[in-house]
Amino acid sequence: MTKQANEEVPDAGGDLAGRHIVLGLSGGIACYKAAELCRSLIKQGASVQVVMTEAAEQFITAVTLQALSGRPVYTSQWDSREANNMAHINLSREADAILVAPCSADFMAKLLHGRADDLLSLMCLARPIDKVPLLIAPAMNREMWAHPATQRNMAQLSSDGATILGVGSGFQACGETGDGRMLEPPELLEDIIAFFTPKVLAGQHVLVTAGPTYEAIDPVRGITNLSSGKMGFAVARAAREAGAQVTLVAGPVSLSTPRGVTRIDVKSAQNMLEAVMQQAPAATVFVATAAVADWRPASSAERKIKKDGSGQAPQLAFTENPDILATLAQSPRGLSGALFCVGFAAESHDLKDNAQAKRRRKGVPLLVGNIGPATFGRDDNALLLLDAQGSRELARASKLSLARQLVAEIASRIKRAG
């Protein structure tokens, strides 16, 4: 049978390629999300072995998970398909990680006390702790989540080495609203990818600017540019994956905040400068991806500027905006290297010459150049890295892939400097 043209297939080069995940389901309505999560893990190149508790089977069938994972689903510690009848040993030894999603309050308590009366809990207890990490995605009613017993259990599980992936907040199946929902599959997928990423920026605080700025002419008009912010958001995500604490200062864009990233929304270049200066003292790396407007109207009209029928356009005077990158690069911490500054240059022509000139003018050790019209709004890009020694090209790829390469480059330079 041939695949349909629009059918999605696993990505052999995906972010989880070569990883084998045991996906455990305990009882809870959030089991329906596990189906999408299983599919998402496979699309990113992972192989997935599903293990379900008896309670989980009340919410979703093993048939569904078998169809999505492409593997028989295990539901009992007495499963005779294993030649030695030791599924709890065999399945755990094959895994790169065990992910329990959803993890009910009852199952968390069971893990805490080392109980092992079903296959999933038995497997979690029997896993080699130093080789097979345990990831937990809690899912429960808001009152159950807030209960001191649950919070104690969660703290102790974390102390025992488990990774708690957190919960979402919102409307719950019981009709109440609050914390305790299992994270959505895309959020969990992002956290799992981050979990497996080498933490080359651990201990660093990365400050990133992204998107355009908007310079008001009057209450309804302004000057901006075509930057989508996607490159800066990708850098923020990649830095967080690499273990950094990340603060993202974003101009007016419609993008979701990367998981684990602190976001500050701004509008104008002046707003962005003020936000950056407030955050800079705590930062160790500054990546200026934002396409900041070079000029702004000298004054903004309080009311909409109306046509008067004369055919004459209004006369606008402009003033230069502050240079955010140069301000930080030429600050005492920038000059000393305590704040490693990376600039971006979006050019329309003569990329290498213009970008290198900008690097020298700004006084930054590393500048990233790209052709603006060829990347604005797109999901891919091609970059040119420039420093005092010359330049190096990063071939066209997804912006997230390029962001990860850039983060690795920054981490390498910081390590060498240290």
Active-site residue, from 38, 124, 174, 341: 174
Task: Quote the CA–CA distance of 128 and 74 in Å, as a whole number.
Answer: 20
Task: Please give the C-alpha separations between residue 302 and each of 34, 100, 221, 335, in angstroms, as whole numbers.
Answer: 52, 56, 11, 41
Q: Is 205 left (phi over 0), alpha (psi -120 to 50) or beta?
A: beta
Helices 119-126, 87-94: axis angle to 10 degrees equals: 60
* 227: Cα separation from own chain's centroid: 20
Task: Quote the CA–CA distance of 323 and 293 in Å, as a whole number.
Answer: 10
HSE, side-chain direction, 13 A CA sphere, residue 51: 27
Task: Quote the CA–CA distance of 215 and 62 in Å, as a whole number.
Answer: 56
Task: Quote the CA–CA distance of 338 and 331 in Å, as a whole number.
Answer: 10
Sign of CA dihedral 259, 264, 266, 272: negative
Rounded CA Rg of the chain: 26
For 197-226, the DSSP string reads S--TTTT-EEEEEESB--EEEETTEEE---
Question: In the 8-state DSSP scheme, what is residue 74?
Answer: B
* 166: Cα separation from own chain's centroid: 15
Residue with tokens 């329990």: 100
Active site residue 103: no
Task: Quote the CA–CA distance of 224 and 206 in Å, as a whole number.
Answer: 26
| Tokens found for residue 177 | 């609203």
Question: In the 8-state DSSP scheme, what is residue 298?
Answer: S
Cis check for the bond before 102: say yes or no (omega within 30 of 0): yes
For 361-400, the DSSP string reads HHT-SEEEEEEGGGTTT-SEEEEEEEETTEEEEEEEEEHH
Query: Any idea which residues carry the catalytic annotation?
Result: 174
